[in-house]
Each structure stands twice: as C-alpha cells, then as structure tokens.
C-alpha cells in the first residue's frame, strides 16, 4: 500500500507533537515545512531577549530531531498559498503535493492596524525577535551612557512593555531584576534610578485568563520589583518617541516592547468561510477545517467548536496545541474504529515574575512564590524538546541562580565584515 | 595628581591585555573604544561557523570584564579618525580626548583588490562573519536538498576554502568531519559523495610559518579527511559561481570561504610615513608610532623594528599581541626607571585538523596527532578570557567528544517578524 502523504506546515508545539506520533510509521510519508530550520520553545524567548539563555538552549534543529525517522522529511520554506483543488501547497521553494494537509502555523504579532507601532515597536514572537530585542535594549543603554541631554537620556532608559500576558509580565519582571542586579554594575555612567520600566495593558488586570489570586500576587511581585503597572490603558499610537494612550496620556520612550496581541498567521487559498475570530481557522471536533475534505488545523491557528467545556474555542496555549497534535495523529492511527473527539485537558497554567517568584494555577489549586517558581522550572525544563537542551538549560539556570549574573549581553550585528 | 587619560582603540588580545595590567590603578583613567560590546577569541571562530560552539562560548562582554575597575570605561563606537594635534580621537559617537592613545585595532580581511571576491566570498574574521557563514553553509545544503539539476546541486555542495593558514586548515578539516558524521545523517536527500571540500593556497605549502614536519602532517591529515588540497594556486576572480585561478583552471561553487589574507584595519589622521607593509603602523621597540609623541600601537596592526630576532617585524599572532600589550603597560608602571625593550618570546604555534588531530611546534619540538590535540585543547581552554567561558566551552567540547554531534546548526535571520 502506498503511504499517505501528509504535509505539515509549521513545526511548533502542535506540528512537532503531531509528527512524533507518526514518525517511524511506514503508513505515512510526512513532510514538515517551516520557515526556520529549528523548533524552539516560545515560553523561554524572554530569557533569550534578556541574555540569560542562548537561542541554542531553547532550540533544536528539525533535521536532527527527526533524523532517525526515514518517513519524516524537512523542507525549509515559506508557505505562499494553498491550492486545495489540486491537493497542493505552494511554497517559496516550490509546489508540494499531499493526501492530507495539517496547518500548524501558530500566530503572529497583532498590531491592531497601528502602523507606527508595527514599524517602531519591538515584538517578541520569534527567536529573531528575541535576539533583535537583546541587541536593541543593550544599544539604548550604550547610547544613554554617553548622552548629555537628560531628557533624551531618560527616553533611552525608559522601557514600555505593552501587554500584561505571560510574556509581558515575564519580560518586565526580568528587566526589573536586571536593573537591580546587573545594569547598575555594568553602566556606572548611568543613574539607574532614571530607568523606568512600565507594563501597560488595556484590560483591568494582568494575566487575564488566570485566577484572581494569581493576578493579585503577580501585581504585587511586579510592584515589589518597582515595575510601574498601569491597567485599563490602551495604546493608540507611537509617534516621536511617545507612546500615546487612548485616555490622552503618554510616555516618552525609545523602547516599546509589544506583546499585546496575536492573530493567526495569514493564509491564502481558502475561502473566507473557513476563518473565524482572529483569522483562526474554523475546525470541527476532529480538527478538520470547515468545508474541506483533507485539510486539518491544530494549535493556535485554529478555533475549534464542539468541546463542551470550551464552547467559544480554546485559549491559545501550548498545552492545547500539544494535545490537538497528539489526538489528531492518534486518530490517524486508528484502523476502522471511529475517531476520538478532542477534549482539552487543562493541566493548569503558570507565569514567572522575576527571580525565584512565580504564580501557578492548577485546576483546583493556586501556588505562588518560590514553590510556584520550582513548579515552573520543573515543567519548563521537562517540556524542552530534547535531553541535551534540558541539561544545558538547567546548567545555565543553575549558573544564573548561584551568580545571579548571566552574561550573554552581546550586541551582535549580522553584517559581513569588510 | 590627575590620572593619565589613556584611550585604547580595540579590545582584542593586545588591547585587553594592556588594560588588565592597569585596571584598578588610579594613576590611569582608561577608555576602551570598540565597535562591539564584547571581547572574543578568534582562534575558535571556526567552531562557531560550523555550529560546535555558540558565540557566547568564545565571547565576553567588556562591561562585565572590567566591571570591578572604576578606572576603566567602555565606549561602543567606530573609530572615524585621529586628530593627533588636538590629542583627540573622533568616533561615531563623538570626540574623546586623551593624554596617550593606544591603537590595537588588529586586522581585517584582505581581498587584494578583487571586488567580486569581496562581494561574494564569505570571510572569517569576526563573530558576525562566523554566524553569517554558519547560516550560509546550512542554507546551501537546504537548497541542494531540493535541487533537481545535478550541476547546480554540485555547485551548492562544493566548498572552496581559500587560504591554507590555521583558519583555512581548521575550517576545511572541520567541514570534512561534518560531511562524514553529520551532513550524511541530516541530509538523507543528498548523496554526500557529491560534496567536495577544496583547500587552495597560492603558496607551495599549508601553514607556511610552521615547521616542515607540521606542514607535512597537516597535509596528510587533510588528505585522510578527503579534503582536496591544491597548492601553488592563486585565486584571481570569482564570477558566475566559478572561482578562477591564475593558472587558468576553475572550480564551480556557490561557496568561497576567504581566509587568504589580512591587512591592518585602516586609519585616518596619521601621515603616510607612519605606515609600513600591509598598512601596519611602524613602531619603535617601545611600540610608539613613528613620528608621534604619545601614540602607541600594539598587536596585529603594528610593525615593530628593533627586536633582534625579528628584523622584519613580528608575525601577526595572538602571542605577540598579548606580550606587546603587557610590556607596554608594564613600562607605563615604571617610575623613573628606563623602559624595557620589547622582545617576543615565541612559545610555539599549533593548528587543529579535524577531530582529535593537531600539529604543534614548540621552540625545539614538533608534536602531532592526539597529543598535539590535547596540547591545543589545554592552551586554548586556558586562554579563554574568563572562568565561565572555560567551563562552558569545556562542557561543549566534552559533549562533542562523547556524541561527536554538536547541534548548533541554526539558520537565524535577524529580520524582525511582522
């Protein structure tokens, strides 16, 4: 029997967990298409951006990940468009035919149509973003260190983080820790009290999807770290080094870190009727895209109906993506039996705030402080793709723990030397 | 007494070793100017380019390096010009005055006026170069993996390394090891026998400054690794994906790695009479630049006269730079006594060829094979700037030793995500 040709677009949590179930099974011939040649672990991007981990600590090359499995192929390419009538995808490096297509492209930063913000703010979605942010932050401090004009120096030293989700909370907490322990020592030219770190969100709380207790604890941790948290505050524009808010107020800054929203990665070749809120692909309880015969979507880029506890679809979380990938693959492995309907098993969620402090919501319990930090550490370490990264990341963290001073603060430009 | 204001341009071996002697001494106020915010260890760049070490294994931020010393300041800037009459240097971020200027800018890649080579070849002098080379090499293999035309595939899989010095030898040896152990597994689509690695040099030998025995052993190691070594072969041009040689022959390739020459980093503001062969600054036996009162040059960018054993100047080696930096600083510390003349103490030289094989010339002895490899390891490990890097680099190497398969094969683009 000829193997089923499956093309998977995107090697994040959803795509990789889907493929893993089928790797080595000769009934399937799988091609993974990704714009990068590596998988990475988004929850730790903020540690790359702040120089505590290298990108290699949180990444793993696809070719090595699937090297042992002859039925898994990798293709470095951007998706251009789907051609569902021909059962083909068009990529930047050519056409690929399929029997079944799995869309797992995740989301991208959403600037809500604000062109200035898109152009000038620094996003935090990809490894390239994190490295660019590291360069950008350090460069502002270098500039501040020689700036004579106090107002311009203040603008260079002010950081506004927009978005009070986990990424925004984690990066503002980490920057506040660095201000206290590192920047003060590295930049003796600067009065580090001039450095303001703002966290703003349009909602009335940080970490909106978490428990009330987690929200309150997080807010209090951030305030202990002297992060200026402002809620109910919506960014409207970013002009002349001023972040402008809906209420008419503004903050002067050269650094706006944008973690305030995502939308599904856009897609050409499917009718409008396939898409729901946030451009997410509408899928049934088996993750099949509405109105298609052999196209599936898993992870952040789909919006699923039919899960009784999540009538408005699932939150865009790693756990949902992982479980959808696994369940879809396991359904493909069934012979004759009817497919299992997807039910999201919520194992809880957590966020880290600065050194050694975190909040965690388990289905019925709330944890905070050092215990939550250790839980966060265990879960994230365990989730890292492969053994090597775990060991190395643990060593980096152990180092950071003992010295409280990682030193990956490099400004690396990609330009070729002459 | 007011401290002597010393400005040091360049934080490589020479500059850092100079500063270290004076750090913490209140008689001196030192400003280090560098275009990067980190020191790095050039002998291991080729391991970054091939994905065996991360840039953080071989680098260290200046601000952290000198953090404890209040008399050392760092300034991220490019040198624009000297204004010796005013005792000022002009940089990309402003003017800096000095009492004494120390030029330690090293060298840059020399393309000998070949514009096409400069435009299309990949150099290996900086961390950015090494990262760009890593991206470039992997991208060619990704392209080859989907290329249908056998001739174009061959061009994508052919690598020409120009320059048989240590860098050229080390990178061609490493690539040959990767071909054998890694590329074959990572790229099952490719017939890895199609992958040719050429090492070419205009001279009649590789590692020209080393002993005859080292040259012979290196050649034999490279041949065992199936590197195609061609000597007496001078690159003339690089056009239409063909490297053209002086003897009329050519090699089709998409990848020309250029390690065939350096010249001193150019400098504006000093008269022509200050410069010698290879644009190197002519200095006396105390490293003072000819015709100046308070300008010194140390390391690869100077050409020193007066050392009896090196009447034509010293070779451009790390050891010379380190010793010149230290001797100049120690002379400054002398009170009343006359300054020591510089004498280069040649401790020997070595090069590594592939896994676990190296050659080493001590003043009277020649070593090869695994013993030389262990010597190479010990010396390089010991020379890494600081403790942390040593431990981490050793761990990376230990890992590479046991698994023979480091996995830093990431293609990382710097562009911001949308």
Give the closest-approach CA distance of B54 to chain A in angstroms. Answer: 8
Which overall architecture, per CATH, does domain A115-259 show? 3-Layer(bba) Sandwich (3.50)
The strand pairing partners of A88, in sequence order, are A83, A97
* Cα-based distances in Å from A312 to A208, A304, A371: 16, 8, 33
pLDDT at A401 over 70: no
Predicted confidence at residue A400, as pLDDT, reads 58
Number of CB pairs < 8 Å for A and B?
139
- Is the Cβ–Cβ distance between B314 and B28 less than 8 Å? no
Contact B411 A70 (CB under 8 A): no
Predicted confidence at residue A181, as pLDDT, reads 86
Q: What is the distance between the alpha carbons of residues A407 and B284, in angstroms, rounded to a whole number? A: 39
Residues of chain A with C-beta less than 8 angstroms from the C-beta of B185: 67
What kind of fold does domain B4-109+263-333 have according to CATH?
FAD/NAD(P)-binding domain (3.50.50)
Within this chain, domains A4-35+77-109+263-333 and A115-259 share the same CATH topology: yes
Picking from B132, B142, B416, the nearest residue to A416 by CB comes out as B132
More confidently predicted of A200 and A394: A200
- Interval A142-171: pLDDT, tens: 999 999 999 999 999 999 999 999 999 999
What phi, psi does B262 have (nearest 5°)?
-135, 155
Contact B142 A38 (CB under 8 A): no
Give the closest-approach CA distance of B45 to chain A in angstroms. Answer: 14
- Is the Cβ–Cβ distance between A38 and A134 less than 8 Å? no
- Interval B252-295: pLDDT, tens: 999 999 999 999 988 999 999 999 999 999 999 999 999 999 99
**Of A185-189, A386-390, B121-125, where does mean pLDDT reach its minimum?**
A386-390
> Which residue, B27, B28, B39, is CA-closest to B6?
B28
- Interval B58-72: pLDDT, tens: 888 999 899 999 999
B414 confidence band (pLDDT: 50, 70, 90): low
The strand pair at A28-34 and A4-9 is best described as parallel
Tokens in use for A392?
A: 């190395």
Q: What is the distance between the alpha carbons of residues B308 and A85, in angstroms, rounded to a whole number? A: 81
pLDDT at A404 over 80: no
| H-helix or E-strand spanning residue B118 | helix B115-120
Give the closest-approach CA distance of B243 to chain A in angstroms. Answer: 19
Residues of chain B with C-beta less than 8 angstroms from the C-beta of A126: 417
Indicate the average pLDDT of chain A: 91
The strand pairing partners of B349, in sequence order, are B361
Contact B37 A411 (CB under 8 A): yes
What kind of fold does domain B115-260 have according to CATH?
FAD/NAD(P)-binding domain (3.50.50)
**Of A15-19, A156-160, A412-416, where does mean pLDDT reach its minimum?**
A412-416
Residues of chain A with C-beta less than 8 angstroms from the C-beta of B61: 186, 407, 409-410
Residues of chain A with C-beta less than 8 angstroms from the C-beta of B126: 417
Predicted confidence at residue B417, as pLDDT, reads 46
Residue of B nearest to A109 (CA): B418
Residues of chain B with C-beta less than 8 angstroms from the C-beta of A128: 412-417
Residues of chain B with C-beta less than 8 angstroms from the C-beta of A90: none
pLDDT at B377 over 90: no
Angle of helix B387-403 relative to helix A387-403, nearest 10 degrees? 170
Instruction: Enumerate helices (H) and strands (E) in chain A, giving the number of each.
Output: 12, 25
Residue of B nearest to A265 (CA): B418
- Domain parsing of chain A, residue ranges: 4-35+77-109+263-333, 115-259
pLDDT at A79 over 90: yes
Give the closest-approach CA distance of A60 to chain B in angstroms. Answer: 7
**Of A207-221, A249-263, A344-358, where does mean pLDDT reach its minimum?**
A344-358
Predicted confidence at residue A403, as pLDDT, reads 57
Other CB atoms within 10 A of residue B250 CB: 16
Picking from B64, B129, B388, the nearest residue to A417 by CB comes out as B129
Instruction: Report ipTM (2 d.p.).
Output: 0.87
The strand pairing partners of B7, in sequence order, are B31, B101
Predicted confidence at residue B132, as pLDDT, reads 92
A417 confidence band (pLDDT: 50, 70, 90): very low
Q: Under CATH, domain A4-35+77-109+263-333 is a member of which superfamily?
A: FAD/NAD(P)-binding domain (3.50.50.60)
- Is the Cβ–Cβ distance between A36 and A59 less than 8 Å? no
Question: What's the whole-number mean pLDDT along residues B221-228?
Answer: 96
> Which residue, B172, B174, B221, B184, is CA-closest to B52?
B174
pLDDT at B109 over 60: yes
Q: What is the distance between the alpha carbons of residues B367 and B351, in angstroms, rounded to a whole number? A: 11
């Amino acid at each position: 029997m000829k193997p089923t040709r499956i093309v998977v677009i995107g090697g994040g949590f959803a795509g990789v967990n889907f493929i893993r179930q089928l790797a080595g099974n000769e009934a399937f011939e799988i091609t993974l298409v990704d714009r990068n040649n590596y998988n990475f672990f988004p929850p730790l991007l903020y540690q790359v951006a702040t120089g505590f981990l290298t990108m290699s600590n949180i990444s793993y090359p696809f070719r090595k990940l699937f090297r042992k499995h002859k039925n898994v192929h990798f293709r470095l390419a951007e998706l251009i468009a789907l051609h569902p009538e021909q059962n083909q995808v068009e990529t930047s490096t050519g056409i690929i035919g399929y029997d079944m297509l799995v869309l797992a492209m995740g989301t991208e930063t959403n600037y809500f149509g604000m062109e200035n913000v898109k152009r000038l703010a620094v996003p935090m979605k990809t490894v390239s973003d994190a490295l660019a942010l590291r360069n950008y932050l350090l460069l502002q401090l270098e500039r501040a260190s020689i700036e004579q004009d106090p107002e311009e120096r203040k603008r260079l030293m002010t950081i506004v983080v927009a978005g009070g989700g986990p990424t925004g909370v984690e990066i503002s907490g980490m920057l506040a820790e660095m201000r206290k322990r590192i920047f003060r020592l590295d930049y003796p030219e600067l009065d580090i009290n001039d450095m303001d770190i703002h966290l703003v969100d349009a909602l009335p709380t940080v970490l909106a999807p978490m428990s009330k207790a987690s929200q309150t604890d997080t807010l209090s941790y951030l305030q202990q770290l002297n992060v200026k948290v402002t809620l109910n505050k919506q960014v409207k524009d970013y002009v002349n080094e001023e972040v402008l808010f809906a209420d008419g107020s503004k903050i002067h800054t050269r650094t706006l870190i944008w973690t305030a929203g995502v939308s599904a990665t856009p897609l050409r070749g499917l009718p409008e009727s396939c898409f729901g809120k946030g451009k997410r692909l509408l899928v049934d309880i088996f993750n099949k895209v509405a109105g298609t015969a052999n196209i599936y979507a898993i992870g952040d880029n789909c919006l699923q109906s039919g899960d009784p506890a999540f009538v408005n679809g699932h939150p865009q979380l790693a756990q949902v993506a992982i479980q959808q990938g696994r369940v879809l693959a396991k359904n493909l492995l069934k012979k004759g039996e009817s497919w299992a309907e997807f039910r999201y098993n919520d194992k809880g969620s957590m966020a880290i705030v600065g050194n050694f402090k975190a909040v965690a919501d388990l289905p019925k319990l709330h944890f905070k402080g050092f215990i939550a930090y250790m839980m966060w550490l265990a879960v994230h370490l365990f989730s890292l793709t492969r053994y090597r990264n775990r060991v190395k990341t643990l060593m980096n963290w152990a180092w950071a723990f003992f010295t409280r001073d990682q030193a990956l603060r490099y400004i690396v430009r990609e330009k070729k030397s002459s």
